[in-house]
Structure 1
Amino acid sequence: MLTRRLFAILAILVAVVLVAVAVLGVVTVRKPFPDREGTAQLAGLGADVTVLRDDYGIPQVYAETAEDLFMAQGYVHAQDRFFEMDFRRHVTAGRLAELVGEAALETDKFVRTMGWRRVAEQELARLAPATRRYLEAYARGVNAYIGDREASALSLEYSVLSLRGSAYEPEPWTPTDSLAWLKAMAWDLRSNMSDEIERVLATEKLSRAQVDTLYPGFPFRRHDPIVTQGNVVDGTFDQSSGERRNADTDRAADVPEATPTDGEESEDVALRDLLGSMQGVADVAKGLPTLLGFGDGIGSNAWAISGERSATGEPILANDPHLAPSMPGIWHQMGLHCRKVGDECPFDVAGFTFSGMPGVVVGHNADIAWGVTTMYPDVTDLYIEQIQGDRYLYDGRWLPLVTREETFEVAGGKSETITVRETQHGPLLSDVDDTLADVGERAGGGSTYGVSLQWTALTPGRTMDAVFGIDKAHDWASFRKAARLFAVPSQNLVYADTEGNIGYQAPGQVPIRKRGDGTWPVPGWDPSYGWKGFIPYEELPSVLNPAEGYVVTANQQVIGRQYPYLIGTGQAAGYRSQRIIELLQGSSKLSVADMTRIQNDTHNGQARTLLPHLLEIDLGSGYYADGQELLRAWSSQDQDRDSAAAAYFAAVWRNLLARTFHDDLPQEVWPAGGERWFEVVRRLLNSPDSDWWDDRTTKSVRETRDDVLRTAMRDARDEMTRRQSLDPDRWSWGNVHQLTLENQTLGTSGITLVEKLFNRGPYGLGGGSGIVDATGWDAAEGYEVTAVPSMRMVVDLSDLDKSRWINLTGVSGHPFHRNYTDQTKLWVDGKTLPWAYTSDAVEKAARDELRLTAELEQ
């Protein structure tokens, strides 16, 4: 797990950079800045390529052939973000220790055990010939840029890391490097593996039944799923089938509450024995997404409205994916344009890309627009395996483990070799955790337990084909045809086109389980817990032009209980999605500007439930009542950054969670405070004498709901006084809810002056967890921002040049470059940039022009 301790071993050497920067100054910082004007030679181009950049450095690429187009994209990505690309490929290949040293070895072992790169290598051969050509062209473009440049000319980070005393030379880029990035995306969007682990960890103090109450089902009576009507009929999803079901009509009952009982233990001995190992797996699993630029609190908002609801008379589509903040931000804006669009060169697309991967991930072309949100399908299962030596038990037989050797090179240290073991379910993740040795042998059998992972992404797929297919799709049919290949990660796909259609498609490989619902680890020796295939694509939920005139996805449940398959149980509880629906229903003529305002909405949907109970508590008058008075005047319930009431309410919420659940749960699984916990507490509020309210540490006192609410409000008043001021009028949410953009490597070195070279911030923000403006924070840790809308886009299908977009940071990954954070202040203020798309608009906005040519003029 990479945390601040990762670079502790480099601290003394890294400190030398202060001297280097002082001596070399501007030269050192500016050396990696790329040339964005003039002419550059790229051997292998078929014809000249033009790269136009606007004031924000956003590139628009024009080429004669698709191969030239993607070769130029690779070149431009390397110009702006090569260190980020190189760092990520070291992570996805399990080779990060080669770059940064021994502190990364634990993470490398975890990734190599899963075998991301091995699967990516297998995928390459399965892809369409055209896709392989595009990947190869992209790699040629990257390599043309890095060429004979020394590492210090590619990134300031390399100059700092070179202080170890060894010269580093980046390896040539390969198509497999790009495909491995898809595994990284799939890992963070894998749904409930972390929940499975946390459920097990919670059994240290609770029974399974008690733990299950902390994972409530989706509240269909109150919140709408994405698809409100339809079912599978004769092997095909029919959106017109069945009664329409939404929050007004669904009669599904909430899951009943269970309460903790002292002394009750988990019934599953294997789970109890594996608690320590589970914690080790959880630590590495949680640290990995942050390295990749995803992190905790992931989610997204995306919606499309029909022309009947828009001010333009044509559809409008909006999207803002929620990921961990990083420096630079994970997205790179770009346009990819064939000069003559046709079968030989079918691309005319613009949007948000991942550096290191060709194509556009989210955006629009001349005919369609699309957005994505996390679908949270359950595509992972953890199996408890019974192991004897080099065998494991399955269906009454002892089968041989499949093994392979993995060797790790370590910068500044000795290499290390491990043996990776696999069952038929997948790799034994528990082998990479040091605590496995402490699990012990079971009496009488001489066997131990391990934990294996079955995950759809460990089977080669064709998701890269889907990316290019969507980029060139021209209508609903071609869009759905491309989405069929979107194996992993499974994402909610929101659609709109210039013909006036809007739609939704659920893609991906979603397993059908023989038994169970995937919420707990299951015995690997029992074949009744296996998978029996995947939900057929034709039977996955989809909808075209729904009667509501909108499609809204914010990670809520995909469809109602009438659907015959289980997609997953870890979806969001619908607080964000229902708020978006309310705002869309509030006006019949919504504009692009209205969409942006909705993206920045800070209304706290949980406040309407909790606030009445808080206002009924008697706090007397004076000091402790001051906070309560703020809440009485907080009629908007908006979590704005300037709001004193919002700051106090957040503090009450944090302390309420602590007072209610910290005594019942191990520290590793204390509540983070997102939408799941909104729903848990909502249900508890109706049971004022529930055992959950009682504090186990006060043996002679039995606390009730109102006791906890009163104490939480007092704690919150004291905390805001310590953190901000004795005077509540001087409080603000943005004073404590702050975002710091940290470089993924040296930004956490622990050396203040070095961190200032790469990091930016802090910035005070509004919004919060479970809010449309989803600036997440972890209530178990503090109020600092842990997840953000990583970009925002609004596509106007009536005039694509009137679309808007914004990135968290900027397109450049080079510190002190003018495009390093030039979009951040606009993003913080909820503003967006014009999104030029047509050639006339792009040329009008152009500031720099770079011509890429196969041969330089003599």
Structure 2
Amino acid sequence: MKLFSLKKIIVVILTLGLIVLLIAQLSLPSKPSGKEYIALAKKYDVEVLRDPLGIPHVYGKTDGDTAFGLAYVQSEDDFETLQSIIIATRGMRSAEVGFDAIESDFVVQFMGVWDTVNAHYDAKVPEKIKLIAQAYADGVNLYAAENLDAVSRYLLPVTAKDVIAGFTFKTPMFYGFDKILSDVVNGNLLIAEASENSVPIGSQGIAIAPHRSAEGQTHLLINSHQPLTGPVAWYEARLNSEEGWNMAGSTFPGAPVIIHGHNESLGWANTVNKPDLVDVYQLNINPDNDNQYLLDGKWTDFSVKTAKLTVKLLGPIRWTFNKDIKISQHGPVMETEHGLFAMRWAGMNEVRTLEFMLDANKAKNINEFEAAIKLKAMPSINFVYADKDGNIAHYYNAQFPKRSVEADWLDVLPGDRSNLIWNEYHDFTLMPKTHNPVSGLVYNANNPPWQATDGADDAKVSDYPASMGIESFVTNRALQIEALFATQEKISMQALKEAKYDLSYHPQSNQIRHFSAWLAEQKDSAYSTLEAEALSALRKWNLSTHKDNEQAALAVMTLEPVQTGRGKKVSFDDTTLAFKTAVSKLVKYHGSFEVPYGEVFRLKRGNKNLAMSGGPDILRAVYGQEMDENGQIENIAGDGFMMFVSWDKNGLVSSEAIHQYGAATDLQDSPHYNDQMEMFVDHKERRVLFEREEVEKQAKRRYRPGQ
């Protein structure tokens, strides 16, 4: 059963001639004049300096001033994405775009995003965080008021609650909540607009202590892998306030803080982790009363709320569709043709994520950084940490449910036992972590926390309960990191860069073990002459994804089912089909199955189309989409914004960074729309301007939003 049969319902309504009723019930909200937002902006004291690459350096007197300025510059560079995120967080995208967003809107209401924010905002969000959130909202409102032609009727006013709700809605998606929700509804895709979640992405962070580095410095690699465009693509900024906020790094549209980067004292990289943070309960329904479910031997009433979903039909015509959502003591209930399932997940009542992030941004040492983590306000995400004092650490951070009863927590749980409903999270002491290992190296590349250093002092799996559901899959990137550094007594910054841009698969990776076993079973006689020749070419592949490698494109395309399987068993038949398809496409578009890899895998933006090295689950991460009519596969996810950070022996910070495109995210007529692409594909970085005096000397534009 599909989640909705809205299209059929609407067609029936129209067929019955009720269009008059539709029009009578609906009207578009009017656009405000915007004058009040322009007037309100004058209370903020902030200056923006754009450097030669258009990167915004935001200097505010207070933290609120800086957040206001960040919102304004993000709006300047990509207002369309920022606006769509805010409207989506409200569950109102289908009113703007129609049926394509209806399921995403339903998920917002199923998760109770606004129930949570409205219930906990006053008591659990500190006043300083409300100020930051409202200042950010005011920055968006100012830009909108100045550019009313680009503003949706469903946007203004943006509020502090919109900002808080964005974290409540988005953060569970990083550990795969949407995928599990989709599975509950028997594979129906629930978040049609969130296509980035279907892309196999990774991330890596590496930190090196002074005693392991060749320069006697602390080094940090910040290298998250995200979609290159859209709501979770990285936006670079430099933030400073006179209240001690002093960060360089990147963030997402809608976030008033730097999500990963560094200040003068410390920095961190984020990588996705996916422990078991969602529980699904199958409910027994009273055959005589479908509003009751069995719990501890008694029939218990559901509470019910109504999701109101406004959908664009034609022109100005909208229709509000009501759908009841049942709620059990476990959580909201999804009704499917296979039964009723209640869901419970980490972060389901969380409104403190912005507080955690601001505290991390302003932390000055490892104790203050750990104090932020101890808030337990971030549902998931690894942190690879380094600081000027030489401390390095890996934190396998998550809100781990305190599951006190023995059960198969990875399976669907019986819904009739209240002792399976957890209400607390484990504290910081039970978070897997590796702190200042003897080897002087920590890393994460979406691998288990038991593999976080090249020494013997990793966290031990035996010290943690199985009910935490910690992942076990080891990525190719994790294997390569250890292999590349295994023989290096000292690691220089140059060696760190060479490792980050490594282009090879490890012989013992999941991909190559499968690939080798598949190749060993293939008989030339089972293939056409052309395909048999292609098999011979594959046997020559040296596991590299360099842009000049002539077997890499065929190999990477053949391995596509293994990549998307992420450790799950893949049949040889699926690999064979991928191989045959790859041969056919390469010959069709390039005249040969042996073609330089960079002629197939490309980075595209505006008028630029550049050859790339790297591939899926390679340390130089490149994830593509379907081959186009020119025989090219466009890079759409993986390596994007990245930083190399160092603290010297005197504790002074310096960093280099690169963005896959440029600072002007959505401004196609700007020189900064794609001006970093050549450096990016050539594996080069540019120095980050951290000191204001240097920024002022090089600034190409200075202005005060709202003044």
Instruction: Please tell me the TM-score bracket, short chain as reference.
Output: 0.7 to 0.9
Note if 1:563 corresponds to 2:463. Answer: yes
Q: Which residue of 2 aligns with 1:186?
A: 171
Q: Which amino acid in 2 is paired with 1:846?
A: A
Q: Which residue of 1 aligns with 2:553?
A: 647
Q: Which residue of 2 aligns with 1:354?
A: 252
SS in 2 for 1:308: coil
- Cα distance in 2 for residues equivalent to 1:849 and 1:717: 51
Q: Which residue of 1 aligns with 2:134?
A: 136
- CA separation of 1:675 and 1:319: change in aligned 2, threshold 3 A: farther
Alignment RMSD, CA only?
3.4
SS in 2 for 1:673: helix
Note if 1:797 corresponds to 2:695. Answer: no
Render the CA deviation track for 1:425-455: whole Å, top value 9, x for unaligned.
111233xxxxx3x55xxxxxxxxx2122211
- CA separation of 1:774 and 1:386: change in aligned 2, threshold 3 A: farther
Residue from 549, 552, 564 that aligns with 2:440: 549
Residue from 378, 387, 397 that aligns with 2:285: 387
- CA separation of 1:489 and 1:810: change in aligned 2, threshold 3 A: farther
SS in 1 for 2:559: helix
- CA separation of 1:842 and 1:295: change in aligned 2, threshold 3 A: farther
SS in 1 for 2:83: helix
Q: Which amino acid in 2 is paired with 1:601?
A: D
Asked if 2 retains the 8 angstrom alpha-carbon contact of 1:90 and 1:96, the reply is yes
Render the CA deviation track for 1:434-485: whole Å, top value 9, x for unaligned.
xx3x55xxxxxxxxx2122211221134221111101110111011001112
Query: After the TM superposition, which residues 327-726 of structure 1 pair with which residues of structure 2 at under 5 Å, given as runs?
Result: 330-338=233-241, 340=242, 345-388=243-286, 389-411=290-312, 412-430=317-335, 436=336, 438=337, 449-513=339-403, 514-531=405-422, 533-559=424-450, 560-566=460-466, 567-605=468-506, 606=509, 608-610=512-514, 612-613=516-517, 614=519, 619=524, 623-635=530-542, 637-654=543-560, 673-677=564-568, 680=569, 715=580, 718-726=583-591
Render the CA deviation track for 1:101-157: whole Å, top value 9, x for unaligned.
2332232122212122332333432122211221122222222232253133x6xxx
Asked if 2 retains the 8 angstrom alpha-carbon contact of 1:484 and 1:508, the reply is no
The count of corresponding residues between Structure 1 and Structure 2 is: 644
SS in 1 for 2:248: strand
- Cα distance in 1 for residues equivalent to 2:557 and 2:75: 44
Q: Which residue of 2 aligns with 1:311?
A: 214
- Cα distance in 1 for residues equivalent to 2:375 and 2:423: 20
Residue from 201, 204, 217 that aligns with 1:298: 201
Residue from 52, 69, 74 that aligns with 1:55: 52
- CA separation of 1:489 and 1:56: change in aligned 2, threshold 3 A: farther
SS in 2 for 1:81: helix
Asked if 1 retains the 8 angstrom alpha-carbon contact of 2:295 and 2:415, the reply is yes
Q: Which amino acid in 2 is paired with 1:334?
A: A
Note if 1:845 corresponds to 2:695. Answer: no
**TM-score scaled by length of structure 2:** 0.82
SS in 2 for 1:643: coil
- CA separation of 1:379 and 1:610: change in aligned 2, threshold 3 A: closer
Q: Which moved more, 1:381-390 or 1:51-60?
A: 381-390
Asked if 2 retains the 8 angstrom alpha-carbon contact of 1:602 and 1:766, the reply is yes
Q: Which moved more, 1:354-363 or 1:409-418?
A: 409-418
Cα deviation, residue 770, structure 1: 2.4
SS in 2 for 1:451: strand
- CA separation of 1:120 and 1:190: change in aligned 2, threshold 3 A: farther
SS in 2 for 1:82: helix
Q: Which residue of 2 aligns with 1:830?
A: 683
- Cα distance in 2 for residues equivalent to 1:197 and 1:418: 18
SS in 2 for 1:399: strand
Asked if 1 retains the 8 angstrom alpha-carbon contact of 2:182 and 2:190, the reply is no
Asked if 1 retains the 8 angstrom alpha-carbon contact of 2:643 and 2:655, the reply is no
- Cα distance in 2 for residues equivalent to 1:189 and 1:381: 16
Cα deviation, residue 189, structure 1: 1.5
Cα deviation, residue 552, structure 1: 0.8
- Cα distance in 2 for residues equivalent to 1:138 and 1:58: 18
- Cα distance in 1 for residues equivalent to 2:45 and 2:558: 61
Render the CA deviation track for 1:578-608: whole Å, top value 9, x for unaligned.
2112223343443444433323222122465
Render the CA deviation track for 1:700-724: whole Å, top value 9, x for unaligned.
xxxxxxxx98x66973674355444
Q: Which moved more, 1:557-566 or 1:714-723?
A: 714-723
Cα deviation, residue 381, structure 1: 1.2
Q: Which moved more, 1:189-198 or 1:67-76?
A: 189-198
Q: Which moved more, 1:495-504 or 1:481-490?
A: 481-490
Q: Which residue of 2 aligns with 1:175?
A: 160
- Cα distance in 1 for residues equivalent to 2:344 and 2:358: 28
- Cα distance in 1 for residues equivalent to 2:557 and 2:79: 41
SS in 2 for 1:582: helix
- Cα distance in 2 for residues equivalent to 1:810 and 1:329: 15
- CA separation of 1:111 and 1:808: change in aligned 2, threshold 3 A: farther
- Cα distance in 2 for residues equivalent to 1:197 and 1:46: 45
- Cα distance in 1 for residues equivalent to 2:627 and 2:425: 37
- Cα distance in 1 for residues equivalent to 2:267 and 2:115: 33
Q: For CA contacts below 8 A with separation 6 or more, give which structure has more relative contact order.
A: 1
Asked if 2 retains the 8 angstrom alpha-carbon contact of 1:777 and 1:783, the reply is yes
- CA separation of 1:193 and 1:96: change in aligned 2, threshold 3 A: closer
Q: Which residue of 1 aligns with 2:20?
A: none
Unaligned 5+ segments in structure 2 are 11-36, 451-459
Render the CA deviation track for 1:373-409: whole Å, top value 9, x for unaligned.
1121221112212234211222221111111122222
Asked if 2 retains the 8 angstrom alpha-carbon contact of 1:191 and 1:377, the reply is no
Cα deviation, residue 853, structure 1: 6.5
What is the identity percentage for the equivalent residue pairs of Structure 1 and Structure 2? 24
SS in 2 for 1:358: coil
Query: After the TM superposition, which residues 4-403 of structure 1 pair with which residues of structure 2 at under 5 Å, given as runs?
Result: 43=40, 48-125=45-122, 126-147=124-145, 149-152=147-150, 168=153, 170-191=155-176, 194=179, 277-280=185-188, 283-285=189-191, 287-290=192-195, 294-326=197-229, 330-338=233-241, 340=242, 345-388=243-286, 389-403=290-304
Unaligned 5+ segments in structure 1 are 10-39, 159-167, 199-273, 431-435, 440-448, 658-670, 682-691, 696-707, 742-758
- Cα distance in 1 for residues equivalent to 2:216 and 2:42: 43
Cα deviation, residue 629, structure 1: 3.9
SS in 2 for 1:60: strand
- Cα distance in 2 for residues equivalent to 1:521 and 1:390: 21
Asked if 1 retains the 8 angstrom alpha-carbon contact of 2:376 and 2:398, the reply is yes
Cα deviation, residue 86, structure 1: 1.4
Cα deviation, residue 547, structure 1: 1.1
Cα deviation, residue 763, structure 1: 5.5
Asked if 2 retains the 8 angstrom alpha-carbon contact of 1:195 and 1:519, the reply is no
- CA separation of 1:790 and 1:354: change in aligned 2, threshold 3 A: same
SS in 1 for 2:541: coil
Asked if 1 retains the 8 angstrom alpha-carbon contact of 2:72 and 2:705, the reply is no
- CA separation of 1:95 and 1:47: change in aligned 2, threshold 3 A: closer
Asked if 2 retains the 8 angstrom alpha-carbon contact of 1:367 and 1:498, the reply is yes
Q: Which moved more, 1:96-105 or 1:812-821?
A: 812-821
Q: Which amino acid in 2 is paired with 1:609?
A: R
Q: Which amino acid in 2 is paired with 1:429?
A: M
Q: Which amino acid in 1 is paired with 2:513?
A: T
- CA separation of 1:737 and 1:568: change in aligned 2, threshold 3 A: farther
Asked if 2 retains the 8 angstrom alpha-carbon contact of 1:673 and 1:769, the reply is no
